[in-house]
Amino acid sequence: MSKKLLMIVAPLLFLALGLPSAALSSETAGCLACHTSMKGRIKTAGGAIIELNVDSDRFQSSVHGGLTCTDCHAGFTDNPHGSPSAAVSEPVASLSRKISSKHTVDPVAAAACIKCHEETYQKVLASAHGKNIIEKHQTDGALCVDCHGSPHYIVKAKDPASKIGRAHQVETCGKCHGDIRIIEKYKLQENVMESFKESFHGRKLHLGHTKVPVCASCHNAHDIMTKTDPNSPVFGKNRLVTCGKCHKGANEKFIPAITHQKPGPIPHYTEKALIVLLLSTFAFIVIHVLLEAFSDIRDAIFRKGREE
């Protein structure tokens, strides 16, 4: 179907089906007329790969179900798409320019969260993740949708389906923190995911414990800092407070008990030494048995010789 034809037919089809639901504004219904009936991934004129489908029911049951599409897609109108400069406020427009290398589909929509979540957005921009994009001009750091998932289907953190809830948070951070390309590029500790899973906390989490910490319990969610930043909750003595949230009376002896570091040199070398000891004992036994067998054979041959 040609795009022009689709644009005429889709809304008619939609009206014929008796939709849209009464809860939607007419403008949103207009957008969904096309975007719920269209499916599949396409390449836009700008070169980005997009998923055309927006599931109307899932959108309406998300935390943003009461919003109109243009609350975020402020540059769009439903005829079908207005000029991209329509009615975008200056703070959103200027932020959208700063993050446009990361959000190539509609940077205005990705910046628009700041209208309603200003404090959170400022924290993210000042975090190690935001600086990666704004100051270092890279695209690897996390912005809202990297952690919260599709902007159309965000649910409350308590919802079991939430990407940042207890059930999925480790996996969400792990998309990047378990990615060897990112670990090497930013010289991060390669085993944070592994060491978390192996830690007492990680193992309890796996068993379904509901009070053990997940990543953000120690690192915060939005104002995440590098471990060498004196304001980081995992920097030096700040851990007294961080661990102390759950371990009353945590002291300086307690706080190093769980980190991502590999076990120190003493347990490391003790383990190595034990392996060497075990292997040499085994080798000693084998050599001993072989020598014994060899001497038996030699004795037998010599005895045979003497008997002749």
Of 194-233, binders to ligand HEC (CB under 6 A) are 196, 200-201, 204, 211-213, 215-219, 221-222, 224, 226-227
Distance separating alpha carbons of residues 252 and 269, to the nearest angstrom? 25
Q: Which is nearer to ligand HEC, 43 or 304 (CB)?
A: 43
* By CB under 6 A, residue 237 contacts ligand HEC: no
Say how many C-beta atoms besides its own lie within 10 A of residue 132's C-beta: 18
Which of 240-248, 266-274, 275-283, 296-304 is the region at the interface with ligand HEC (rule: CB under 6 A)?
240-248
Q: Scanning residues 85 to 144, which ones bind ligand HEC (CB under 6 A)?
A: 103-107, 109-110, 112-113, 115-117, 120-121, 124, 128-129, 132, 136, 140-144
Comparison of 97 and 288: residue with beta carbon closer to ligand HEC: 97
What amino acid is encoded at 269 in this protein? Y
Stretch near ligand HEC under the rule CB under 6 A, chosen from 86-94, 192-200, 271-279, 294-302:
192-200
Residue 80's contacts (CB-CB under 8 Å, 6 or more residues apart) are: 7, 30, 31, 34
With binding defined as CB under 6 A, does residue 278 bind ligand HEC? no
CA dist., res. 166 & res. 27, Å (int): 36
Pick 51 or 98: Cβ nearer ligand HEC: 51
Specify whether the CB–CB gap between 145 and 139 falls below 8 A.
no
Q: Within 13 Å and on the Cβ side, how many CA atoms surround 235?
A: 9
Contacts of 286 (CB under 8 A, 6+ apart): none
For residues 131 and 93, give the distance between their C-alpha atoms in angstroms, rounded to a whole number: 19
Asked if omega into 267 is within 30° of 0 (cis), the reply is no
Is 1 or 266 the residue whose CB approaches ligand HEC more closely? 1
CB 152 within 8 A of CB 62: yes
Among 168, 189, 194, 238, binds ligand HEC (CB under 6 A): 189
Q: How far is the CB of 155 from ligand HEC (least distance, A)?
A: 7
Whose Cβ is closer to ligand HEC: residue 71's or residue 98's?
A: 71
Taking the C-alpha atoms of residue 17 and residue 94, their distance in angstroms, rounded to an integer, is: 41
As a residue count, the chain comes to 308
Instruction: Print the binding letters for residues 41-70 with ligand HEC: x by CB under 6 A, - otherwise.
Output: -x-xx----xxx-x----x---xx--x-xx
CB closer to ligand HEC out of 98 and 117: 117
Q: Is 25 in the site for ligand HEC (CB under 6 A)?
A: no
